[in-house]
Chain A
Amino acid sequence: MRDTAKMMQTGLGDELFQPTGASGDSAPPALYGGRCNSCGYVFFPPQSYGCERCGSTKIDRTELDGRGTLIASAVVHRHLDPARPAPFIVGSMELERRVVVRGLIEAGQDALAPGCPMETMIVAETRPDRGSTDIRFRPAV
């Protein structure tokens, strides 16, 4: 995932989040999205092939605050990929500027209800060839 060829291909690189945690104050790690310079469309994941809304290739990387709101969640009971052993919880989160991301959640299902404030957290990556850290969401304290 982190080879140079791919970084050159997509231009913005394939870094999706701040790998070490908080930037400055106690803010949770940010996600790296893209912002179209022509129409202002903000999106995640980042790419520089062209804006999905207007087709412009003038795209910048933008930091998305690691705090958001839970839209929906689901416990995955059965999953075919052995690199992601079930059970685990996935969710849809709305971040700033109306960007919706889907990711894994670290929490008990009882703690999750739509509208619940969420934040990012860094965990150790367990899948091979994916670097040393991964990102999760959890209910904000």
Chain B
Amino acid sequence: MVKILGDLSPVYVVGIGFHPYQHASDTPYVALGLQAIREALTDAAIAWEDVQSSYVATALLGMAAGRPMLRHLGAHGQPLVHIENASASGSTAFRHACLEVGAGISDVALVVGVDKRTSPVFRAPTGVPSLADDAIVPATHFALLADEYCSRHNVAPEDVALVAVKNHANGALNPNAQRRKVRTLEEVMTRPIAGTLTALQCTPIGEGAAAVIVASEEGIRRLGIDAGRAVRVVSSAAGSEKAGNQTNPDTALSAEIMAQAIREAQIGPRDLDVIEVHDAFAIEELLYAEATGICEQGEFIPLLKEGAFDIGGRCAISASGGLIAMGHPIGPTGVGQVGEIVRQLRGEATGRQQPGARTGLAHMVGIGAVCYVHVLQK
């Protein structure tokens, strides 16, 4: 009989840390990563020697970037693995650290995501010819999905842009966000990129780092970690795209994996207080939010306009600012989502706290496509 995370020993996030996401700079990735890791160790009040296993999520740094970073914490010889899974690299690393700790292989594990922007991203050719892949980049793909959604649900482009207005406002409250400026709808609607998507509705790929420490009950007890600030990881679900000529495989896949994560957490979608999704483009937040089941298809925009998804609304979506405002440095992003949810569930998200937040969901897709969803609960 196969097992799910909930069948294993309970796993908790006990420490979170960041290097703020930012535009490309001369700061070496080693400095970015070390800042996030040290902050997470301090937050958990444990020493580097207490970490028994490390997962390094990075998509853009090249081969084996982790060891030249971790060595500066004091080399203690514990296992280390690198995980690359496109935008979902950090979420994937988090899942596997949780599985290792839940299985009892380790009591305490580090997950760190770190990246610096490189352009263009190298991918070896597949040998399969394409008609217009050079014309259809991610922004174009999501512009087509926005056009499809707007015609189906009779929604104006300005309505979709309201997602970005909300997320920029949230990002302005987050010291770790790359974009920290409140934007009006008029500002968001300037600088078109593809279709109705504008620059401020697209993620600004940058750089940064995020780290979390996961621990078992045994690890918490042994190291004297404050169990009152520990946040349990109640479910972890993952999947990859199936064959089909659908125009929107990311959403179909997300709906399936979110449903699995919510079911395994033994909750309903309307129990979610905070959600972080892969909102690299404004239309994505809308599609994935509907895919969680927190509202019906076509209901997102009216509810957004009522403030249902604001901080203080019925479910805060992208309270961190999301990929649109907090940023999307690739490797760190999924780890940073978990960090944000932990902060919210601890009640420590000063200035952007969702009142009474108890349950949160983190969702990432990675090009290809893969999908990773985690539910956390306090």
Instruction: Kindly list chain B residues whose C-beta atoms are within 8 Å of the C-beta of A114.
Output: 147-148, 151-152
A90 touches B140 (CB 8 A): yes
B243 touches A88 (CB 8 A): no
* Dominant secondary structure of chain B at its interface with chain A: loop
In Å, the complex CA distance between A100 and B148 comes to: 14
Instruction: Kindly list chain B residues whose C-beta atoms are within 8 Å of the C-beta of A76.
Output: 135, 140, 143, 193-195
Instruction: Kindly list chain B residues whose C-beta atoms are within 8 Å of the C-beta of A102.
Output: 131-132, 136, 144
B147 touches A72 (CB 8 A): yes
Given A52-B243, A79-B137, A91-B144, A74 and B195 touching (CB < 8 A)?
yes
B193 touches A78 (CB 8 A): yes
Instruction: Kindly list chain B residues whose C-beta atoms are within 8 Å of the C-beta of A51.
Output: 243
B131 touches A75 (CB 8 A): no
In Å, the complex CA distance between A41 and B132 comes to: 22
Task: Tell me the smallest distance from the CB of B74 to a CB of chain A, in Å.
Answer: 42
A77 touches B193 (CB 8 A): yes
Instruction: Kindly list chain A residues whose C-beta atoms are within 8 Å of the C-beta of B193.
Output: 76-78
CB-nearest residue of chain A relative to B151? Answer: A114
Per-residue CB proximity of B194-229 to A under 8 Å, as 1/0? 111000000000000000000000000000000000
Instruction: Kindly list chain B residues whose C-beta atoms are within 8 Å of the C-beta of A43.
Output: 243, 245
Given A45-B131, A81-B134, A72 and B245 touching (CB < 8 A)?
no
In Å, the complex CA distance between A76 and B360 comes to: 36
- Interface size class for chain A? 35 or more
Task: Tell me the smallest distance from the CB of B161 to a CB of chain A, in Å.
Answer: 15
A45 touches B144 (CB 8 A): no
Q: B30 in the interface, Cβ–Cβ < 8 Å?
A: no
Q: B128 in the interface, Cβ–Cβ < 8 Å?
A: yes
Per-residue CB proximity of A26-45 to B under 8 Å, as 1/0? 00000100000000010111
- Interface size class for chain B? 20 to 34
Q: A47 in the interface, Cβ–Cβ < 8 Å?
A: yes
Given A92-B247, A100-B246, A74 and B143 touching (CB < 8 A)?
yes
Q: A71 in the interface, Cβ–Cβ < 8 Å?
A: yes
Per-residue CB proximity of A83-122 to B under 8 Å, as 1/0? 1100010111010001111111000000001100000000
B245 touches A98 (CB 8 A): yes
In Å, the complex CA distance between A110 and B137 comes to: 23
Q: B130 in the interface, Cβ–Cβ < 8 Å?
A: yes
Q: B79 in the interface, Cβ–Cβ < 8 Å?
A: no
CB-nearest residue of chain A relative to B119? Answer: A80
Instruction: Kindly list chain B residues whose C-beta atoms are within 8 Å of the C-beta of A73.
Output: 144, 147, 195
Could you say which of A72, A74, A77, A84 contacts B134, with CB atoms under 8 Å apart? A84
Within 8 A of A (CB), among B175-200: 192-196
Q: B259 in the interface, Cβ–Cβ < 8 Å?
A: no
Given A78-B194, A90-B140, A100-B245, A72 and B151 touching (CB < 8 A)?
yes
In Å, the complex CA distance between A93 and B243 comes to: 18
In Å, the complex CA distance between A34 and B145 comes to: 25
In Å, the complex CA distance between A10 and B127 comes to: 7
Per-residue CB proximity of B118-150 to A under 8 Å, as 1/0? 000000000111111011110010011111100
Beyond A72-B147, A84-B134, 14 extra complex contacts between A and B, CB < 8 Å: A47-B128, A52-B243, A71-B144, A72-B247, A74-B143, A76-B143, A80-B137, A88-B135, A90-B144, A91-B144, A92-B247, A99-B245, A100-B245, A102-B136
Residues of A within 8 A of B (CB): 1, 6, 9-10, 14, 16, 31, 41, 43-47, 49, 51-53, 71-81, 83-84, 88, 90-92, 94, 98-104, 113-114, 127, 135
